[in-house]
Structure 1
Amino acid sequence: MLDILVYLYESFRMVALTPDRDALEKRLFAAGFEEADINAALDWYTNLAGSATHERLALAYDRHYAPEELDRLNEACRAELAYLGSAEILDPESREWVISGLMELGGEDIEPDHVRWMTLIVLWSRGLIEHFTHLEDMLLNHEPERLH
């Protein structure tokens, strides 16, 4: 799923340029992605793009993880999420979408790099990125000593 979302992010630098679902499905299938993966990724993306803001989440800075989240998100991933929140890159609602997307990744091991990519995708999808290049550089060329 993440490969498909990254493909969308890299192909359509502005959400407004993203074609309708039928056109996306054809394009993704032509790019070699499997139909089931395409449907899962586009379903999740559609829910994200069409979601309303939840006022209660604006105050939810502390995050307690469910047992299944603890099983999938190792300590390094949780530390990355905490850092992104403390650096005010992720607001609580965006953080929940990042976690939701990570939990949808299936059987693959989730690494901090997945957290960073999912963060970019969520912020892009929600229209919260103003300067892609700076955020991409900061998140994808992550050097812990440089960020603190």
Structure 2
Amino acid sequence: MFEVLVFVYENYWRGDACPELQQLGRKLSIVGFEEDEIAQALVWLDGLNLAAQDTQMAPVAEPAAPRQSPISMRVYSVAEQDHLGAQCLGFISFLESSGVLPAPMREIVLDRAMAAPGDPVSLDDLKIIVLMVYWRFGEEPDSLVLDELCDDASGRLAH
């Protein structure tokens, strides 16, 4: 499924540039993806669309939507802890504390991560999920964050 999501991310500039799911499914089939991978990715993308549908990423100056208090804390359920694992939860915390993953986007990332296969979800798969949430809102993450999301850290040496 994640190979299909990466293909969609790389070939459609923004979520609103992506064709309807049926047409996308046909295109993915023509490209050569397997039917079960396509079906799983389309269900996942449909869930992303539903989760993001009523979420508006309003500027801070707009008082329309209630904002999360700076002293509030997200408590993860046991199911979330089990499915995401410490590494993924730590990465989400890192993005959030860096100011690049606002609370509404975090909740969509968590929703889509819970719908992803894997127990626990791998960090690489979570990074794809984060990219897809940014993609759905038509936003590109900061270049340093994008580098962190796309870079293969396995070849890095710690100093």
Counterpart position of 1:59: 68
SS at match of 1:68: helix
TM-superposed deviation, 1:46: 2.9
Structure 1, unpaired ranges of 5+: 144-148
Instruction: Report the AA paired with residue 52 of structure 1.
Output: D
Counterpart position of 1:111: 122
User: RMSD of aligned C-alpha atoms?
Assistant: 2.6
Structure-2 separation of matches of 1:84 and 1:128 = 15
Equivalent residue in structure 2 for 1:120, among 124, 131, 140: 131
TM-superposed deviation, 1:38: 2.4
Counterpart position of 1:26: 26
Q: TM-score, normalised by structure 2?
A: 0.73
Number of equivalenced pairs = 141
Instruction: Report the AA paired with residue 89 of structure 1.
Output: V
Aligned pairs for 1:78-117 (under 5 A) are 78-107=89-118, 109-117=120-128
String of CA shifts for 1:67-108, please: whole Å, max 9, x gaps. Answer: 211111111111100010111111111111111222222235
Residues 2, 105 of structure 1: 8 Å contact kept: no
The verdict on how the C-alpha distance between 1:39 and 1:142 changes in structure 2, with shifts beyond 3 A counting, is closer
Structure-2 separation of matches of 1:19 and 1:107 = 28
Equivalent residue in structure 2 for 1:68, among 74, 79, 84: 79
Larger helix share, 1 or 2: 1
Instruction: Report the AA paired with residue 86 of structure 1.
Output: S
TM-superposed deviation, 1:130: 6.5
Percent identical pairs in the alignment equals: 28
Q: TM-score, normalised by structure 1?
A: 0.78
SS at match of 2:99: coil
Residues 48, 126 of structure 1: 8 Å contact kept: no
Structure 2, unpaired ranges of 5+: 57-64, 154-159
- Which gives a bigger RCO, structure 1 or 2 (Cα 8 Å, sep 6+)? 2
Instruction: Report the AA paired with residue 13 of structure 2.
Output: R
Residues 49, 126 of structure 1: 8 Å contact kept: no
Deviates more, 1:98-107 or 1:134-143: 134-143
Residues 85, 120 of structure 2: 8 Å contact kept: no
